[in-house]
Amino acid sequence: MTRLLLYIYLLSALLTGCGGGNVPPATAPTPDPPFLGWNNRAVLSGSPLGYGTMLTSHFVKSLPFSHPFSPALVVSAAYASDFGGGVNYFIRIHNYGPARCFIQLLNVRFYNSANVLLLSKNAYITGSRDMYTNTCLATNEYGYALGIALGVAWSDVAYITVDDFSLGLPPTSTSFSWSPITYSIISPNSFFVTALNNGPVASSLSSTSMHILFDSNNRPLDWGFLSSSPSTPAGNTALVSDDFFLLYGTAAKMEVFLN
């Protein structure tokens, strides 16, 4: 009995010395904050852009569209604008499901009024940004599938269809946060955008940032890329520009997507 009590005493001392009698509970890892989107974009109004020599209706038209049912994604509008060698297309998509990145429209098909297929292509959306890509949409956020249909005459395009959607992957947490602040006109075919780094660290903007030009009736006229910026400290601004756009109509505002 004495030996048993000695064993119990020694075991108790050993556990106490090793912390076995007072082990703190494991700390659960802190979950990433929810992806809320809207971290790289804004609609900016300012002085009119473009040469103003052509009415919007002479080179932009709304396109009828159809796509299969999706519980998450809905196409809300589609437009085509004429640029001579083909058409620029703008397809607006709303996300009503969970936040996703690398969202893609599969087989966007362009038809003429005789139901003849003119072109078919896939298209990623342009939206908010996670750690890796600006193809993200948070819940209740919208974005655009933007592209060029080369060799397709604007007058021939009558409607589009979308075969399916690819929902991609959940967003990866990011500290990226830039806000377009204002734009200033350099010439009839060039402008620069002032952007603010809202993030916690210095970062730069790549030449994959994009803009869409709209008329006063919210019809998209043109889209393009913006120049890159050097590394910019948190809380400071940078200038990015488009020096090569050609618009014969008149744009009243733009939506900018920084990346």
Domain boundaries, the chain: 60-166, 178-257
Other C-beta atoms within 10 Å of 180: how many? 23
Contacts of 68 (CB under 8 A, 6+ apart): 162, 163, 164
Identify the residue with better confidence: 187 or 33: 187
Report pLDDT digits (tens) over 23-49.
555 555 555 567 888 889 999 999 999
59 pLDDT more than 80: yes
Tell me what percent of the residues of the chain surpass a pLDDT of 90: 75
d(CA 20, CA 202): 46
| Averaged pLDDT, 69-73 | 91
Residue linked to tokens 């090793």: 18
pTM: 0.85
Residues of 154-164 as b/e, b for ≥16 C-beta within 10 angstroms? Answer: beebbebbbee
- CATH of 60-166, picked from 1.20.1260, 1.20.58, 2.60.40, 1.20.1250, is 2.60.40
Q: What is the pLDDT of residues 235-251, one digit of tens each?
A: 999 999 998 777 889 99
Q: What is the mean pLDDT of residues 168-173?
A: 91
Region 178-257: CATH code: 2.40.30
What does the pLDDT read at residue 7? 42
Q: Hunting for tokens 């204002």 — which residue is that? A: 182
Reduce the DSSP state of residue 237 to 3 states and report it: strand
Contacts within 8 Å (CB) and 24+ apart, 112-115: 112/156, 112/157, 112/158, 113/158
For residue 240 the two structure tokens come to: 């990015």
Task: Specify the DSSP class assigned to residue 137.
Answer: B
Alpha-carbon distances, residue 61 vs 91, 219, 233 (angstroms): 12, 8, 42
